[in-house]
Amino acid sequence: MKRVAIFLLPLLFLAIVYTIAKISAFAITATPISSLEASELRQKALDAGFRPIPTDPKKLLHLINTPNNPLNAAKVQLGKELYFDPTLSKDGTISCASCHNLDAGGDDGLPTAIGYKHHRNPHHLNSPTVLNAALQKFQFWDGRAKSVEEQAAGPIQAPFEMASTPDEVVRKVAASSHYTKLFKKAFGDNAITFDRITKAIGAYERTLLTPARFDKFLEGNLTALNEKERRGLELFINVGCKACHFGRSIGGLLIQKFPMNPYNFSIYPKFGIHGSKYYFKEIAIDPNVTANPYPFKDLGHYYGKNDAQRFKVPILRNITKTAPYFHNGSVKDLKEAIRIMAKYQRNIDLDKDQIEAIEAFLGSLEGEIVDFNLSEFS
């Protein structure tokens, strides 16, 4: 009898804990959710670390300018021409715009980049957006570059992208009398170097900012977001997405582990969120759990910085235009990406309405590229 009692005690304890958790969940979910007023939500968003892309031209210029690459009108124009010029690639067929289409969210819409002689990225890496990339602290999926100027040098030389060399690029650019004139205007003399080429491209990329309706909301236009979008924003904050996706870029400022919660066991607890409160849902039993490092196909076998499954947090601006998602482009649907992030990063199972609300909020991050007057850089 003693042995039976000893065996039953842990089960009894678990049953009591389970019952208490379910009672608590019932009490939480039975409480009506009272949404914040728009003004309160705006303040909550600012307190969470969101910042608007300014509309004032002087503030915009101050935001994107850098002492390491001072902007001027000629440099931005030069960078724009270089950005769209396929002659920078080895075979003259691929430009920066080939993988970063400004009319399609700033990426190529493909699961993985296709470069020189139709080579695919060996790690099946998805092309990140170039839009608002200048606002990031880190570039590339592993965050190895710290500026758009540094990043611009990478794809030009990658054998599976543009497959060129600094010397080849300089030789081609220097052969153009048009470019020679532009370099003199941009830099003060005729010297053409690979460093100046990447600085010019970086200067142009710094102007590729896309203010959105969310920025108007942050600046005080309380009607810029509709009710569903505001509900999605509040959920985005309450779930904890803002812990990594914050700032003006709403991403790109951290290197983060993914997934945080890999769910490697067949039995695990499921949690939900109601308003701002977390609650226990149920015990899930999933016999199909595997040791796969990601909650999607491990295409390319890429594991981020130091092979530790640490990645640059992606920018969420224009996310509705940049499918497929994640580092290897394995997920086509934004709703599924939201579900995965909530479950595997925040340990929360969102319901259909919650996912759709967050998706609606993310739609408010769509914006058009700022139409800079180049005279502003003079």
Report yes or no: 233 and 361 within 8 Å, Cβ to Cβ. Answer: yes
Residue 367 forms beta bridges with which residues?
212
- 171-194 CB burial, b ≥16 within 10 A, e <16: ebbeeeeebeebbeebbeeeebeb
Length of the chain: 378
First-to-last C-alpha distance (Å) of the chain: 89
* Rounded Cα gap, residues 1 and 3, in angstroms: 5
Look at residue 16 and give its three-state secondary structure.
helix
Q: Out of 37, 81, 150, 161, which one is annotated catalytic?
A: 161
- How buried is residue 235: exposed, middle or buried, by Cβ count under 10 Å (0-12/13-18/19+)? buried
Report yes or no: 345 and 263 within 8 Å, Cβ to Cβ. Answer: no
Residue 161 annotated to the active site: yes
Cα→Cα distances 162→14, 106, 343, 373, Å? 59, 17, 37, 31
User: Which residues, 6 or more positions from 302, have their beta carbon under 8 angstroms from its beta carbon?
Assistant: 123, 124, 125, 141, 327, 328
Report yes or no: 133 and 139 within 8 Å, Cβ to Cβ. Answer: yes
Residue indicated by tokens 């009272």: 34
Three-state SS across 24-85? HHHHHHCCCCCCCCHHHHHHHHHHCCECCCCCCHHHHHHHHCCCCCCCCHHHHHHHHHHHCC
Classify residue 161 by its DSSP letter.
Answer: T
Active site residues: 161
